[in-house]
Amino acid sequence: MNVANDKFTHRHAAHCESGVAASLLTHHGAAVSEAMAFGLSSALSFAYLPFIKFAGFPLIAYRMPPKYILKGMLKPFRMRLRFETFRNEAEGTRRLDELLKQGHVVGLQTSAFWLPYFPEDMRFHFNAHNLLVYGKEGKDYLISDPVAEEPQRCETGALQRARFAKGLMAPKGLLYYPESVDRTEVTAEDIRRAIRKTVRIMLGFIPIIGVRGMHMLANKVAKLDPADKLSLNYVGHIVRMQEEIGTGGGGFRFLYAAFLQEAAEITSLPELRALADRMNVIGDGWREFALKAVRMIKGRETFDPGLLAGMLHSQADQETEFFKALKRAIA
């Protein structure tokens, strides 16, 4: 089988799902940046989920769940996006090939661990990595992976394994593609609506979500025993969830800052530019926390859970004030 969509252009992105969403929309005539897709879907968040385990530790997330960004594009662009899952690999492969022959660019949810073009030291068991397939040559699929600078190739068997990986958030061969995109412009009201939703998420009353979740995680870290090796592993897990899974805690804040810069132009609210600068500072704070934690884990500094907890409380306080100011800006 040899088929390729010559009109599709690969775009490098910071994060897989927001990159896929922006590329799909742009391919269908709605020129959208990755930052706009991320902000418009109200994907920025924080969650500390002790009842869901990831590698034996609590799940810590800095964005909303998988597919949230994609589904967040439906209303602003009046898009019909079809999702399909499959009971077996052969059926999933047959359907993907069928859609490619019809000229579709197809999104897939995969496990990053089984994608052979990922360097071995960067592979990890994460079943919510999104990518686009825009063609097939022989047994190789033509892949537009947003986190790769150039288009990639992936052999049929390897892609099947990645699509049907087992475990947490198992993709079950998930594929998706737009059936229609009826609007190509972002409106000021779309942006205001998205910002209001993000503010509600971050300042809400659920103790494990938003800034309250940050404080809860900080309280947990403060209780860690400095003499217990498991405490170091716990902190290492926080850093891994923050900086290695997806774009990371700081990266998502930088992406949201870029969204606010664009939003300032569309809404004619110049105060959003100043708030974008504040969000960049907050992103720097998350990176500083990760750096401090890594130095302690590697023994370059004394392990001090109290100090790390204080940094997390500080991040939560800064984000509290930031989102209050953001709420006032769009009132």
Q: What is the pLDDT of residue 246?
A: 54
**Centroid of chain to Cα 217:** 20
Confidence of residue 125 (pLDDT cuts 50, 70, 90): confident
How large is the average pLDDT for residues 3-25? Answer: 93
Residues of the chain with pLDDT > 70: what percent?
98
Q: Can you give the pTM of this predicted structure?
A: 0.93
How large is the average pLDDT for residues 187-215? Answer: 97
Task: Give the up-direction half-sphere exposure of residue 260: CA atoms within 13 A in the CB hemisphere.
Answer: 28
Q: Work out the angle at residue 23's Cα, subtended by the Cα atoms of residues 17 and 25, and round it to the nearest 5 degrees.
A: 100
Task: Give the up-direction half-sphere exposure of residue 229: CA atoms within 13 A in the CB hemisphere.
Answer: 0
- Alpha carbons 215 and 31: distance in angstroms, whole number: 38
Q: What is the pLDDT of residue 245?
A: 65
Structure tokens at 143: 């892949």
Structure tokens at 41: 């879907």
In the numeric block, the tokens 């998502």 are attached to 252
Domain boundaries, the chain: 2-31+79-181, 188-329
Q: Can you point out the beta strands (E) in the chain? A: 2-4, 44-54, 57-63, 79-84, 106-110, 129-137, 140-144, 152-155, 175-181
* Cβ contact 155:143 at 8 Å: no
Helix (H/G/I), strand (E/B), else coil: 171 = coil
Strand partners of residue 154? 141
Residue 59 has pLDDT above 60, yes or no: yes
- Alpha carbons 249 and 259: distance in angstroms, whole number: 16
* Cβ contact 25:37 at 8 Å: yes
Q: What is the pLDDT of residue 21?
A: 97
Q: What is the pLDDT of residue 296?
A: 96
Residue 225 has pLDDT above 70, yes or no: yes
Average pLDDT of every residue of the chain: 94
Which residues, 6+ apart, have CB-to-CB distance to 96 below 8 Å?
106, 108, 133, 141, 175
Q: What is the pLDDT of residue 190?
A: 97
Q: What is the pLDDT of residue 121?
A: 72
Structure tokens at 42: 């109200």
Side chain identity at residue 90, one-letter code? A
- Alpha carbons 121 and 273: distance in angstroms, whole number: 38
Tell which CATH classification among 3.90.1580.10, 3.40.50.280, 3.90.70.30, 3.20.20.80 matches the domain 2-31+79-181. Answer: 3.90.70.30
Q: What is the pLDDT of residue 53?
A: 86
- Alpha carbons 43 and 207: distance in angstroms, whole number: 18
Residue 268 CB burial class (10 angstroms; 0-12, 13-18, ≥19): exposed
In order of 111, 112, 116, 117, 150, the CA distances from 121 in angstroms are 15, 12, 12, 11, 19
How large is the average pLDDT for residues 68-88? Answer: 96
Confidence of residue 211 (pLDDT cuts 50, 70, 90): very high
Helix (H/G/I), strand (E/B), else coil: 63 = strand
Q: What is the pLDDT of residues 241-273, one digit of tens each?
A: 887 665 566 789 999 999 999 999 999 999 999
In the numeric block, the tokens 């998350």 are attached to 286
- Alpha carbons 202 and 299: distance in angstroms, whole number: 34
- Alpha carbons 316 and 250: distance in angstroms, whole number: 13
Q: Which of 11, 18, 40, 75 is nearest to 260 (CA)?
A: 40
